[in-house]
Structures are given as C-alpha cells and as structure tokens.
Structure 1
C-alpha cells in the first residue's frame, strides 16, 4: 500500500512542481486569443470549458494503453512502477504539454505541421505519412481490444462488435466535436475515474493487500524478456506515448486560454499515469507472482486479466461495470484517432472540413482501409503499434526541443527525454523480430551510437541557430 500511495504522491507532486516549471519555461500568453476563438467553425474549432476539455483529453489519450501496457509491464516486477512515475513526470507529461501548446501557437495545426515548423519540411512530410499510419494502427487496435472484451460479456461474436464499433467511429469522426465527444466524454471520464478508484478500494477490502514488498530494479519477467528496451516500449501510455501528440491538437482547437495548458495537457497525462499505476499495482497484487499473472495472459491476454481482476474484486455486477469502464477507454480513443487522421489528411490535401461531404470524402476510404487492417493478426499489429507510437513521441520531443533551442530557452527539459527515447526506439528496432532481429548487445551499441550522433547534430544545428538569432543585425 505504501509504495502505491508514494507513487501517486510523486505523480501529483510532479504536476504541481515540475509541471509549473515546464510551464514557466514555455511561457504561456494568457492575453493572446487562441484558435478556438479566432478560428471557430462549429465543427473542429469549438470553445469548451477547461474541465470538459480535461476529461475529453484524458479519454482521448488513454485508450487501453494505461491498462494493457501496465498489466504486461507488471511481469517485470515493481520496476514498472518506477518507469510509470518518472517517465510520466519528466517525459510523457512534458511531451503532451508541448504537443498541445505548440499546436495552439500554430493555429491548432496537427502534429505533422508542428513538427515541420520546427524540424523542417522533410520531417513534416515524413510525419504526414507516419502519423496517419500510427493513427490507423491505433484505431484498429482500439477496435479489436474492446470488441474482444464485449464478446466475452455477451453472446455476440467479435465480428459483430467490430462492425458496431466501426459504425460508431464513422459517426463520431464526421460530426462536430461538441455533439458527441464534447457531451458524452466528460461523463465517460468521470465513470473511468470512479471505476479505477473503485477497484483500488475493493482491493484494500479484499484478502489481497496492495503491493508493498518494496521497489526493486530486478527483472522478474517469467519469460526472461529483457528489461531494456522492452519495458519502455511495453508501457507507453501512462509513461510517454506519441499517440498523444496526435490527440492534443484536437483540444488545442477548443482551449480558450493558454494558461489552461498545464491543467489540460500536463494534467491529463498525470491522470493517465495514476490509471496506469492502478493497473500495474493490481497486476502485482491480485496475482501471487509474475508467473501466475503470465499464466492468465497466456490464456487470454490483458483482456483476460481485466476480466478476472474486475469480477474477482467487484463481483459479477460491479465487475461488469468496471469492464465497461475499461471498454470505454479504447473506444473513446479510437474515434479520436480516426478524427485526427481525417484532419491530418485534410491539412495535407488543403481540403476544408466544414462541409460534411468533404469529411465523408476522407472518412469513408479511411475506414475501409482500417477494416482491412483489422483482419491482420492482433499480436503483429500491437508490436508495430508499440514501436510506431514511441517513435512518434521521439520526433515530437525533438521538435519541442528545437522550438525551445531556437527561442533560447531551456531545451534540455525536452532534449533529455528525447535522447533517452531515441535510444529505446533504435535499440528496439535493431533487436526486435519486426525490425532487424540482431542480438541485444549490438542492438544496444547501435542504439547508443545513433542517438549520440543525432544529439550532436541537434546541438550543433540549433545552438548555432539560436546564436545567429541573438546576433545584432548588421
């Protein structure tokens, strides 16, 4: 119990202290009108209250990531809790804050435009393709996972639920953001928080105490999978996730004051970190050992753990409600994933999105492709999603670091997490079966060497650029 409370306390302290420091470095301008005011169109640019935006942002970024990832991460032992806490405070929340605030400064632009503005046109073109690919993978993952959970609760097939969720996604993607997302998501967000707290309370009242054996850096994975770099790919949402960079611009188009950015962007990531901690702790506490947890995962994946833990702690009725709360997460991220993809494609094609016919022109082919991707093996999709997700985070962190360097501000708050995550992603790609399949030692050497080279190039380019900007005009 003490370790869980300490971890939650550290996350909250991170919001109030480090989050305030990050905000000061960026320098919000409360007097400057935001895109929600200057570009209101009644479809995507719609002013909303801070509390509503916070809950929508939380649901947008959450998905199954802060549940499935931490459950899988619990196999490594309590070291997973450390990554959630420190990754969230110093990397994930910083990433989310800058992806949101730089979008505000760029008139609500999507992540490819933001990246291009600070890293150049080549990076913009790459991100146009990469972000849409990531969002399609996210959308498909967030169809298949809730469809599986709903199929377990009902007599209907997985295929039925896939089609039903896709039908909802089409509707939510094309209607104005305040008609479905703005009205229902705050209620769903409150339900999610209630269910998460309810599971912790039920755990405290059960005969299975919350994990309190102490924090250890030891790798306890029963299959002896390497801690480096797999833990940092496995636990993405809840620590740092590039998917969030595609979602923050949605709320950047609705925020009415730049001072709200810390609460909405940094704060929502801290909220997701708490959810991730809850499920990581439940994974460590509900099962007697990582081996027992692994046995359940082997028979039905993270969805089986969610079902077993929820029913075991809350009974049949309460367990079903908790599972429905978990189902809401991926559905409310999947629809905004497709919505973000529509907007990125529209920006690339310079196609206005106020007419519904224009929205359908992009959405219909996009969902056809999404449905075809959903026919592939889920495990393969998930592995590609994990790497693509963290690589997107790397690019966004470098873009934020470039912005700060050009502004002659403390870029290290973004550069350091960018360096770490670059090494993670390159090492994983070199080692993983979906990449080059090299042994871990050469993979790590490649990851470190490539990261060092990228860092040196960044420092040379943007330090010289900042010095040139400060030089007096002739």
Structure 2
C-alpha cells in the first residue's frame, strides 16, 4: 500500500510543481485565442474552462488507462512508480506543450504542426501515420465498449454470431457519426458533463474502496511473491513474471525486458501520441491561454490517477485470488500466455481483461455501484472514439483544404471514413486473433506517433528562444524512440529480431532521432536569428 501512496504523491505533488514549471517555460498571455478569432459555430467555439477540461479528459481517457494498467500491473509494484514519474515529466508535458502551441498557432491540427516544425517529407509521413492510427482508434473504441456492455451489462457472449453484438456496435457507430458531423458544442459539449459525472464516480469509487476495504497491495521493497487470501495457489509471483521465471509447468515471465514491454503495455496513463490529436481539437475552443495548464496538463495527470487506481485495484484482485472474489493468474499452455481466471458459475474459468473490469467494479463497489462504474468504463472509450474520428475528419479537411461549413459536406467526408472503420471492425471481430493484432498495432503506433510531436515541441523551443529548455521534450523523445523501436524490432508483428539485435537497432535509431531533431532546432534558430539581423540591417 505504501508504494501506491508514494506514487500518488509523486503524481499529484510532482504534477503541480512540474506543471507550473511548464507554464513558466511556455509563458501564456492574454492574446485572443482561435475560439474567438476564428469563431465559426462548428469547430471554433468558445467554451467554459470546466467544459473544455472535461471534454479533453474524456477525449484522451479511452480504454488505455484501464486495460493497460490491468495488464501492466503484472510487472509488479514498480508500476506504481513508473506510471506517475512518466506521466509528470512525459505525458502531461507532451499534452500541455502540444495543446498550447496549437492554440497559439491559430488552432492548427497536428499534421500542420508537424509540417511547420519539421519538414514536408515528415509531414506526409505523419499524415498517413495519424490517419491510420485514428482509424484504428475508431475501430478499437467501438469494439471494446461494445463488448464490455454486451458481456458485463447484458450478460451475453459477445460472439460475432450473436445479432445483439452487431446491434450494440451499430448504436455506438451511429453516435460516432452524429458526434463527428455536428457542431462540437451541440453534441459533445452537451452530453459530456453527464459522461464526466459517471467517470468520476467510477474512478473515485475504486480509489476509496482500495483504502476502505483494505485491499492487499504489494510494496516494492517487500516480497513480490504474494500468497493471496486462500493459500499459495491464489497468489502471483510478480518478481518471476518481471524476470524469466521460474514458474511451474513451463510458464515464463517477460525475461527482464521491462523496457520496452511495460511502456507499450501501459501507454495512455504515461504518454500517448493520440492525445495531441485531441488537445489540438480543444485548442479551437479554449477561451484563454492561461487556462491551458488546467485543461491540458492537469487532465493528463487526472488520467494518470485513473491508471493508478485501476492498476492498484487489479493487483488487489490478483492478491485476493479467485476464491475470495478476485482473480487468479494461470498460464495457458496452448497460447503460452498468462490469463486472468475467475469463478464463473462456481467453476474456475479464463476471463478477458475486460471481464476483470466487471470483477473489480462489483467487488469494490457492490452490485449497484459496480454497475455504475462499469458504465463509466464503457463511456471512456466511446468519448475517445467519437473525437478521434472527428479529428480524422478535421485532419483530412485541413490537408486537402475541403469546405466543411454544411452538415452535408461533413457527412460526405465522414461516410468513407466510417466505411473503413466498419470494415476493420468486422475483420477484428470475425478473425479469432483479429482484435489481438489490432490492439498491438494500435498500442505501438499510439506511442510512435508521439515522437513527431516531441520533435516539433523541441524545434519550437529552439525557434522561440527557449533552447535551454529543449531537454524537456528531448527526455521523453529519446526514451520513447528507444522504447518503440526496440518493441517493434523484437515483436512478431514487427521485425521479430532477438532482443540483443532489437536493442542495438533501437539505440542506433534513437541516436539518429536525437541528431535530426537537434539539428532541425539549431537550423531553425539560426534562420530566425539571420532573419532578424537582416530586418535590423534593412
């Protein structure tokens, strides 16, 4: 429990201090924001700070800060420290500067941000990359809330052969279409306060239950081999999983490769490239630059809090064991993977990570409170999926300079986008391993896309006489260039290289990434300096 509390102190206290520092570095002022300068009643709409903050939180907090920590806590209590440290100096900083730069640049979207602060070649690469990512986000965030609702609320199988499965997907799909096409303050701005209330009940409820029920949490300095409430078989050896074992029956851990696997598994609670596509949206509705820290930085810290609660709650369920109402980790000899197991109709059965959501909610908050919390979990991905597809529409609009003043024009552009999303969704549901493949590419690409923003933030600092602070985005950029490259170089969905080769490739790529980023920043600073000197001479 103490490690969890220390992590919360780092997250909240560190977030307050570093957030203030980020604000001092950027220097927000009272200039007119795009919400007023370009007000159009559709995308550029002044909205209250609390509404902007809530929209941004719900936009960025999909299933990532829930399903990621549920899987990531298997690495042990080190997660309680890695999540807050990474969130404070990485994810929250990334979201704040991206959101604020987009605000100051007239509400530009991320492709234009990348084009301005890198070059046209990287811009084209980013444009393709972000469109693919947003399509994957749309598909994932229809699939996961649909399945949670189907299995945890309705108690159905969620199988593709069940017509109810497709009815639920279609309802979410139609809502996404409405939210994507209609003005932001007419749909998203009105319905999100309701969603936000449910979200807060869910997260705070689990947080309170962790202390009120005295859930067993493992500390980083104690034994990582838990016993559980019903004997040795109900516990889990986090230390062996973190390393290479030993486990019985040929079970294995992750071989000590905490880096990079953990940071791809627990993506959204620490740092997520997808977030910049959402902060760019909010940059068009924020009333004052001085509210940016609360809207951008503090909402990412809040997402870190959500991730911490779900990580702790899941650890508690594992430490309790299935017989005490939690879950038991068992190694599946067929898939060669660790699986969550729970008592289903009195018998031990493997359950998905989404089912762990229901188990934790009901154990922590009882039947009624648990059901409300489950609804909150369903809301999270839905409120990210709708704005992901809205962001994709805006990206295409800005890239190809398309007119979007009328609903018919927006619907015409949204139609092919949604057709592609539905094709991906059908494939993921019908293929036995489709969703696993979809989720892995989504998780990796989500982190990879952050490198573009971090490079752009670094170059922005060089261009605006803030080069002495370039280390801030460079720390995160260096770290995640190594993480994403090492992961895809080793993974079977990537190059499938041995770990030594994967780490070598990642090291070379990281040096290259740092080199071209710093070179771009220095070159931009010199160009600005020369331009200023020429102006003075003239």
Q: TM-score when scaled to structure 1?
A: 0.95
CA displacement, residues 174-217 of structure 1 (integer Å, 9 cap, x when unaligned): 11111121112123113212221111222333363344464889
Give the Cα separation in 2 of the matches to 1:458 and 1:295: 41
| Counterpart residue number, 2:2 | 2
Q: Could you tell which deviates more after superposition, 430-439 or 178-187?
A: 178-187
- Equivalent residues of 2:62, 2:141 under 8 A apart: yes
Q: Give the number of equivalent residue pairs.
A: 473
Aligned partner of residue 296 in structure 1, secondary structure = strand
SS, match of residue 444 in structure 1: helix
Structure 2 CA distance for partners of 1:295 and 1:218, relative to 1, 3 Å: closer
Cα offsets for 1:283-316 (capped at 9, x unmatched): 1122128992453279332201101111222222
1:440 corresponds to: 499
1:5-404 correspondence runs (5 A) = 5-30=5-30, 32-152=31-151, 153-154=153-154, 157-206=164-213, 208-212=215-219, 214=221, 220-221=241-242, 223-225=252-254, 226-288=257-319, 292-293=328-329, 294-296=338-340, 299-375=350-426, 376=428, 377-404=434-461
Unaligned regions of 5+ residues in structure 1, if any?
Answer: none
Shift of 1:387: 1.0
Coordinate RMSD, CA, aligned: 2.0
| Residues 286 and 359 (structure 1), Cα distance of their counterparts in 2 relative to 1, 3 Å cut | same
Q: Shift of residue 444 of structure 1?
A: 0.5
Residue 466 in 1 paired to residue 495 in 2?
no
Question: Deviation string for 1:329-372 (max 9, x for gaps)?
Answer: 00010101111011101111211222111100111111111000
SS in 1 for 2:259: coil
User: Partners in 2 of 1:329 and 1:430 — Cα distance?
Assistant: 31
Structure 2 residue runs of 5 or longer lacking an equivalent are 157-163, 225-237, 243-250, 322-326, 330-337, 342-348, 429-433
Q: Contact 1:311–1:318 (CA<8 Å) still a contact in 2? A: yes
The answer (yes or no) to whether the contact 1:99–1:249 under 8 Å persists in 2 is yes
Distance 1:468-1:176 versus aligned 2 partners, 3 A rule:
closer
Q: Post-superposition, which runs of at least 4 consecutive aligned residues in structure 1 deviate over 6 A?
A: none
Relative to structure 1, the CA distance from residue 229 to residue 342 in structure 2 (aligned partners, 3 Å threshold; closer, same or farther) is: same
| Higher fraction of helix | 1
Distance 1:257 1:303, change over 3 A: same
Contact 1:36 1:46 in 2 (8 A): yes
1:77–1:219 CA contact under 8 A, matched in 2: no
Q: Relative contact order: is structure 1 or structure 2 higher (C-alpha 8 Å, sep ≥ 6)?
A: 1
Distance across 1 between alignment mates of 2:43 and 2:516: 37
Equivalent residues of 2:459, 2:518 under 8 A apart: no
Single out whichever of 450-459 and 218-227 deviates more from structure 2: 218-227
Question: For the structure 1 residues 144 and 248, does the alpha-carbon distance in structure 2 shift closer, same or farther, using more than 3 Å as the test?
Answer: same
Q: Aligned partners of 2:320 and 2:262: how far apart in 1?
A: 18
CA distance change for structure 1 residues 434 and 6 in 2, over 3 Å: closer, same or farther?
same
Distance 2:132 2:168 in 1: 23
Q: Distance in 1 between matches of 2:79 and 2:320?
A: 15
Q: 2 CA distance for matches of 1:106 and 1:395?
A: 17
Query: Structure 1 residues 49 and 129, CA, compared in 2 at 3 Å: closer, same or farther?
Result: same
Looking at structure 1, the residues matched to 89 and 132 of structure 2 have their Cα atoms a distance apart, in angstroms, of 27
